[in-house]
Structure 1
Amino acid sequence: MQRGAGTAGGRPGRGSVRADDAEGQGRWSFSSQQATLRRLDKAFAAFFTRVREGRRPGFPRFKGRGWFDTVEWPKDGDGCRWDSQPERPAATYVRLQGIGHVWVHRHRQVQGRVKTISVTRVGSRWYVVLSCDDVLAEPLPRTGAAVGLDMGVASLATTSDGDHLDNPRHLASSAGRMAAAQRALTRKKRGSNRRRKAVARVAALHAKVRRQRLDYAHKQALTLVRGYDVIVHEDLRIVNMTRSASGTIEQPGRNVAAKSGLNRSILDAGWGVFLRVLAHKAESAGREVIAVNPANTSRTCSRCGHCAKENRLTQAQFRCQACGHEAHADVNAAKNILRAGLALRDAAEAA
């Protein structure tokens, strides 16, 4: 859209793209189009920031109609209206400018005041995502307990109380079906109807894994939030941890296949999804979540504080070379994480 080609209030006037294409661009909400332009500006701003900092730039990828999956309306009532037909209480509708009233299957009651509305496509399904203000917290009764979490691959997480949260490995369990679907996709001719159907099958398998991972994260996070007032976890840099070990032509990496398998296992565990859901549930329930530096938590004895690489005998076995304390390595690390988190909280309160 041309700079300055608009009227008061930001609405485009004569000379704008919308005015010249009334049946096309002019049909849709200008606020939604502005939100899309903000996303584009944000992507390029992040790109130039990475260039200035000397990191791998990653030029923003063009998203055609087959890749552009989300449309956002910054304000309810501006090009989009939630619950647009209140006179029909048996059903919920959302009105989209240029489309009309669309029936929505509402899976739970909306709380607070609807602020922004997004419509996103996942495979062949469409979802309406609401962002609400003035949502009241629902604090849970105090338990007086605190716990530390050590994230892992064998187990999704291990608590300082000695409990292990299972890692269902949803992606690994679906690997066979996904490989078959991917092979079938490669045999299809580009642009054909059969290829589009094959793409939809692959997308549906990935969407199912994503839903399974999110569902499991919600259940485990809810269990922790109900049982503990303070939850301490590692401040993980997952993007850095899952970088490829291939290196460059001048300096090729080592153990590339092993690192690739570890990266796949970390991403399959879904640490990022779990920690994000945990933070949201803890905030709503009035719980406290603390992230601590994970450095040396797996090498330090939780009893005497001795830190040495030799303390970690195997992936699961820990024995302190100074005091002889033996424990499961992940449980020992979780206790160190809990201690570090409580120390941070005490220091913050003292300040």
Structure 2
Amino acid sequence: MRQGTLDKRRFGHRARLALSPAEVSKADGQAHAARTLWNLLHAWWRMMPKEKRTLANADAAIRQAREDIDFLAVLPAQAAQAVLKTYFRAWKNCWEHRADAPNFKGRFRTVMSVDIPQGRDLNIVRVHRRWGLVNLPKVGRVRFRWTKDLPVGRRAGVENRITGARLVKDALGWHIAFRVQRLEVKPEPHQGPDVGIDVGVTVPIALSDGQTYEHGEWLTAKEKAKLLHLEQRAAQRKQYRKPGERTSHRLHRTYDQIAELRAKAKRRALDWQHRTTTAIARTYGTVVVEALTITNMVKSARGTVEEPGKNVAQKSGLTRSISGEAWGRTVTLLTYKTAQLGGTLVKVPAPGTSRRCSACGLTVPGSRESQAVFVCKNPDCGWSGNADHNAARNVLHLYRTGLALVPAAGRAVVRRAKRVKPAAAR
């Protein structure tokens, strides 16, 4: 893996494709063929006895299906083999208790995608500063948006290369996700200061040094009004649809317009998260975050018929806000960006960080007077300040006292770690 001070780094890069209507039709046909092939493979798996569920038998069944069904011939052979490998990997993840068992893929509920496992089939060429050309099997030579330097050409070397790609379609059109491998110099340890981070809804990211990162609405007022109008139109058209009746083309078109606006908001949110996490990773050497169980925080409060929940509407609004902030994605971005720049990311226990005073260390009921203000009710303290900054300071304090969450046997345990003082502080 390592050659001196060099490390192999694998990452992905997603770019927008500029396809003509004919090329869009070809890409759609390949995606539908890949989904159909998955469903046929799953039906074959359920039909065959256990002793015959082997990779060789599945490969023979796929080859026979591609000969018998003309519709599957639009899918390249390498992409068909990628479907087979992905299906067997899904069962392996299920057996190792990392995911649920694979199931049939629906036409409208499945992300349309096609895998290109061989990087040499792409033949990428940069046209000019903004656009590049890539070869898509059975689609042709198409343009894509060049927003990042890719290792192409003779100057890239043997170790720096593109190992494959995947075509993905969302509400904004077709994109290509490159799998890139680079040989980079191992980063030196980051000499920046330590910082604690508290994530929230009102203030998305608050740092222990008093800095905050906030954002506005992801959609403009005009776009929000249009989204509301489309949702009302969809609800009205759905009201007149009889049970069991197929969805009309007009309703499908309305759903597509709604998905396009929501995808635009998601793209803007992801761009803000990338910019924010990059700035944090470049500034600080050690980033400390809370180990939040987000899946439990966004569970519905509806309850059951025997024991109905309380404040269901308020809880659903909070759940939407938490899901919209995507705290887990923020931690994921910080994890690999800090490692790439020589820093580290540490998780500490979350309970009590927002209710504990960062000055005296005591938890007194009623100290958090509102969502934004924290006033310590300890008579000997009386510290007051921003509630989010107070929680971020508590998060950093837990790390400095040696508390860290270390994964062990599928669960997180608290471990006290010895911190080595910097050379300047010795």
Q: Do structure 1's residue 335 and structure 2's residue 393 form an aligned pair? A: yes
Q: Do structure 1's residue 304 and structure 2's residue 360 form an aligned pair? A: yes
In structure 2, do the counterparts of structure 1 residues 172 and 39 end up closer, same or farther at CA, with 3 Å as the change threshold? Answer: farther
Out of 56, 60, 72, the residue aligned to residue 115 of structure 2 is 72
Name 2:106's counterpart in structure 1.
63
Out of 183, 200, 206, the residue aligned to residue 232 of structure 2 is 183
Q: Do structure 1's residue 116 and structure 2's residue 186 form an aligned pair? A: no
Q: CA deviation at 1:221?
A: 1.4
Q: Do structure 1's residue 28 and structure 2's residue 86 form an aligned pair? A: no
- Per mean C-alpha deviation after superposition, the further-off stretch among 265-274 and 34-43 is 34-43
Q: Do structure 1's residue 204 and structure 2's residue 260 form an aligned pair? A: yes
Distance 2:418 2:118 in 1: 37
Tell me the amino acid that sits aligned with residue 196 of structure 2.
G
Contact 1:83 1:92 in 2 (8 A): no
Name 2:12's counterpart in structure 1.
none
Contact 1:5 1:14 in 2 (8 A): no
Deviation digits for residues 240-282 of structure 1 (CA, Å, limit 9, x no counterpart)? 2111100111211111011011111112223233332222322
Tell me the amino acid that sits aligned with residue 181 of structure 1.
L
Secondary structure of the 1:155 match is: coil
Tell me the amino acid that sits aligned with residue 184 of structure 1.
R
- Per mean C-alpha deviation after superposition, the further-off stretch among 215-224 and 252-261 is 215-224
- Per mean C-alpha deviation after superposition, the further-off stretch among 136-145 and 177-186 is 136-145
Distance 1:59 1:4 in 2: 16
Name 1:215's counterpart in structure 2.
271
Name 1:277's counterpart in structure 2.
333
Name 1:195's counterpart in structure 2.
251
Equivalent runs, 1:21-170 vs 2, <5 Å: 21=69, 23-40=70-87, 60=103, 62-64=105-107, 67-77=110-120, 81-84=121-124, 86=125, 89=127, 92-111=132-151, 112-136=160-184, 139=187, 142-170=190-218
In structure 2, do the counterparts of structure 1 residues 5 and 39 end up closer, same or farther at CA, with 3 Å as the change threshold? Answer: closer
Name 1:252's counterpart in structure 2.
308
Name 2:417's counterpart in structure 1.
347
In structure 2, do the counterparts of structure 1 residues 263 and 19 end up closer, same or farther at CA, with 3 Å as the change threshold? Answer: same
Tell me the amino acid that sits aligned with residue 339 of structure 2.
E
Q: CA RMSD in A?
A: 3.5
Contact 1:185 1:195 in 2 (8 A): yes
- Per mean C-alpha deviation after superposition, the further-off stretch among 129-138 and 184-193 is 184-193
TM (norm. structure 1) is 0.81
Distance 2:337 2:87 in 1: 31
- Per mean C-alpha deviation after superposition, the further-off stretch among 133-142 and 254-263 is 133-142
Contact 2:193 2:285 in 1 (8 A): yes
Deviation digits for residues 68-122 of structure 1 (CA, Å, limit 9, x no counterpart)? 3222233424xxx2235x5x85563333333233332222211432123110011
In structure 2, do the counterparts of structure 1 residues 11 and 62 end up closer, same or farther at CA, with 3 Å as the change threshold? Answer: closer
Q: CA deviation at 1:41?
A: 5.4
Distance 1:110 1:19 in 2: 37
In structure 2, do the counterparts of structure 1 residues 62 and 107 end up closer, same or farther at CA, with 3 Å as the change threshold? Answer: same
Identity fraction in percent? 28
TM (norm. structure 2) is 0.68
Q: CA deviation at 1:172?
A: 9.3
Distance 2:185 2:305 in 1: 54
Q: CA deviation at 1:340?
A: 1.8
In structure 2, do the counterparts of structure 1 residues 5 and 239 end up closer, same or farther at CA, with 3 Å as the change threshold? Answer: closer
Contact 1:170 1:268 in 2 (8 A): no
Distance 2:312 2:257 in 1: 30
In structure 2, do the counterparts of structure 1 residues 117 and 252 end up closer, same or farther at CA, with 3 Å as the change threshold? Answer: same
Distance 2:308 2:263 in 1: 34
Distance 1:266 1:171 in 2: 17
Distance 2:255 2:207 in 1: 40
- Per mean C-alpha deviation after superposition, the further-off stretch among 58-67 and 258-267 is 58-67
Name 1:264's counterpart in structure 2.
320
Q: Do structure 1's residue 313 and structure 2's residue 369 form an aligned pair? A: yes
Unaligned runs of 5+ in 1: none
In structure 2, do the counterparts of structure 1 residues 340 and 207 end up closer, same or farther at CA, with 3 Å as the change threshold? Answer: same
Contact 1:150 1:333 in 2 (8 A): yes
Tell me the amino acid that sits aligned with residue 245 of structure 1.
A
Name 2:50's counterpart in structure 1.
none
Count of residue correspondences: 338
Name 2:47's counterpart in structure 1.
none
